[in-house]
C-alpha cells in the first residue's frame, strides 16, 4: 500500500498585507512557506502544529479552495495546480474537505436532504431516484436516520452536525478527504465516536485522509504518518512509531512532552518553550524555530535547514541532523 496518491511540492501560500489609502502591499503573511510531502493511497497522514502555523491553509491550497502562490499539487500523477476551473471542479469530486466547525460549515437555511443532494445535482447525477438512494445510504453510514433528512442544522448537536459534514464530504465518493480538525470543536465525550466513524468509513470506502490537528494526542491513534508544522514549514515527518518513540526535532520533542502519558514510567520531562511564536509576516531567518529552540546553534540563525531523511523515511529539518560533511558534497 505504498502507492502515492498525492504529492505536494514546494507549496507556498503568501497572503499580501495591504495597507493605506492605495491598498499597497506592505509585505506578506507567509502562511505556508515551501512545504513538500507525499501521501500514500489508503493512509492517514497527520498534519500537526500550533494554531496559526498554516495547517488549514495547506489543506485548502491542496484542494485549491484557495490558490497556492507557488508550488505543485499532483493527484494520481496529474498536476492539478493550474487546471482550468471546469477541470478542477471535476477533479474535486475525488478530493473533499471536512471543516473544523460544524456550526458554520453547514448552511442553516438548508435541510440535511438539500445539503447532501446539492453536490449530487452539481455533479450531474440526474436521476432523482439514484440521488435519493445515495443520500439514504450516506445518512445511514454516518449513523443518522432518514427522519434526520428533513431537519435543519440548528436542530442537531455538534457531533451530529459533524456527521452531516462527513456525509456531505462523502457524497461524491472521494478518494481523499482533508479532515481539518474535525473533532476540535466537539465535546471530548463525542470526539472518539467521530474518530471511530472516520476510521470505519476509511476501511469501508478505501479513503485516504489528511488529518489536521493542533496537538499530537489526537492523531496518535488514527495516523500512519505525521508531519509537524511550525510557522508555515514542515519540521519533521515520520511514521507514528518513529515520531512518538524517537522524536528528532526539538519542536516535536516539546510538543510531545505536553501530551499526557498514561504510563507513569514513561513520563516525559515537560519541555516549556520560551517566548512567543513569531509572526508569519516576519519569520526568523535561518531555522524559523531558532528563537525558541533550547538547542539552537549559530548556523540555525543563518541557514534554513532542509527536510532530510535521517534514516528509514524519518525526515527532519534541523541542523542537529544535517550531516557535517554536507557542505563538501
Task: Give contact residues for Mg ion (rule: CB under 5 A).
Answer: 56
Partner in contact with 233, chosen from Mg ion, ligand ADP, none, beta carbon below 5 to 8 Å by kind: none
* Cβ burial 112-144 (10 Å sphere, 16+ → b, else e): bbebbbebbeeeeeeeeeebeebbeebbebbbb
**Closest residue to Mg ion in the complex (CB):** 56
42 binds, among Mg ion, ligand ADP, none (CB under 5 to 8 A by kind): none
The strand pairing partners of 9, in sequence order, are: 72
Q: Which does 62 bind (CB under 5 to 8 A by kind): Mg ion, ligand ADP, none?
A: none
The whole-angstrom separation of Cα 27 and Cα 33 is: 14
Pick from ligand ADP, Mg ion, none: which does 29 bind, CB < 5 to 8 A by kind? ligand ADP
Candidates 294, 291, 287, 292; CA nearest to 316 is: 287
Q: Compare residues 56 and 252 and give the one whose CB is closer to ligand ADP.
A: 56
Query: In angstroms, what is the minimal distance from the CB of 33 to ligand ADP?
Result: 10
Measured from the CB of residue 54, what is the shortest distance to ligand ADP in angstroms? 4
- Residue number, 15 or 244, with CB nearest to ligand ADP: 15
Please give the residue ranges that form the binding site for ligand ADP (CB under 6 A).
Answer: 15, 29, 31, 49, 51-57, 280
289, 276 contact by CB (below 8 A) = no
Q: Smallest gap, in angstroms, from Cβ of residue 249 to ligand ADP?
A: 17
Q: Which is nearer to Mg ion, 184 or 217 (CB)?
A: 184
Record the cell numbers describing residue 217, joined without a space.
Answer: 494526542
Query: Under 8 Å CB-to-CB from 32, ≥6 apart: which residues?
Result: 11, 12, 13, 54, 57, 58, 61, 68, 232
When the beta carbons of 120 and 178 are compared against Mg ion, the nearer one is 178
> Residue 291's binding partner, choosing from Mg ion, ligand ADP, none, with beta-carbon cut-off 5 to 8 A by kind?
none
By C-beta, is 44 or 56 nearer to Mg ion? 56
Q: Which among 164, 141, 166 has a CA at the least distance from the CA of 151? A: 164
Amino acid at each position: 500500500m505504498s502507492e502515492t496518491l498525492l504529492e505536494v511540492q514546494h507549496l507556498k501560500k503568501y497572503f499580501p498585507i495591504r495597507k493605506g489609502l492605495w491598498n499597497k502591499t506592505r509585505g506578506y503573511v507567509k502562511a505556508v512557506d515551501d512545504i513538500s510531502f507525499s501521501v500514500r493511497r489508503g493512509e492517514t497522514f497527520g498534519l500537526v502544529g500550533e494554531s496559526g502555523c498554516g495547517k488549514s491553509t495547506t489543506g485548502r491550497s491542496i484542494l485549491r479552495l484557495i490558490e497556492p502562490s507557488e508550488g505543485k499539487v499532483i493527484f494520481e500523477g496529474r498536476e492539478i495546480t493550474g487546471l482550468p476551473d471546469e477541470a478542477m471542479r471535476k477533479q474535486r469530486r475525488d478530493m473533499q474537505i471536512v471543516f473544523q466547525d460544524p456550526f458554520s460549515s453547514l448552511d442553516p437555511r438548508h435541510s440535511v436532504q438539500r445539503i447532501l443532494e446539492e453536490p449530487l445535482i452539481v455533479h450531474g447525477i440526474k436521476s432523482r431516484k439514484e440521488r435519493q438512494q445515495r443520500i439514504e445510504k450516506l445518512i445511514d453510514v454516518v449513523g443518522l436516520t432518514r427522519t434526520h433528512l428533513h431537519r435543519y442544522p440548528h436542530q442537531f448537536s455538534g457531533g451530529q452536525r459533524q456527521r452531516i459534514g462527513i456525509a456531505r464530504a462523502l457524497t461524491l465518493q472521494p478518494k481523499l478527504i482533508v479532515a481539518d480538525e474535525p473533532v476540535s470543536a466537539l465535546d471530548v465525550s463525542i470526539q472518539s465516536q467521530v474518530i471511530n466513524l472516520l476510521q470505519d468509513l476509511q476501511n469501508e470506502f478505501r479513503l485516504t485522509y489528511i488529518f489536521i490537528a493542533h496537538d499530537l494526542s489526537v492523531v496518535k491513534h488514527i495516523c500512519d504518518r505525521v508531519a509537524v508544522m511550525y510557522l508555515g514549514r514542515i519540521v519533521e515527518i515520520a511514521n507514528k512509531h518513529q515520531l512518538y518513540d524517537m522524536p528528532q526535532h526539538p519542536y516535536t520533542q516539546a510538543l510531545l512532552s505536553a501530551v499526557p502519558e498514561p504510563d507513569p514510567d514513561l513520563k516525559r520531562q515537560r519541555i516549556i518553550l520560551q517566548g512567543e511564536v513569531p509572526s508569519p509576516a516576519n519569520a526568523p531567518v535561518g531555522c524559523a524555530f531558532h528563537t525558541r529552540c533550547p538547542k539552537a546553534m549559530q548556523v540555525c540563525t543563518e541557514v534554513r535547514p532542509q527536510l532530510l531523511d535521517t534514516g528509514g523515511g524519518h525526515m527532519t529539518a534541523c541542523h542537529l541532523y544535517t550531516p557535517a560533511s554536507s557542505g563538501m558534497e
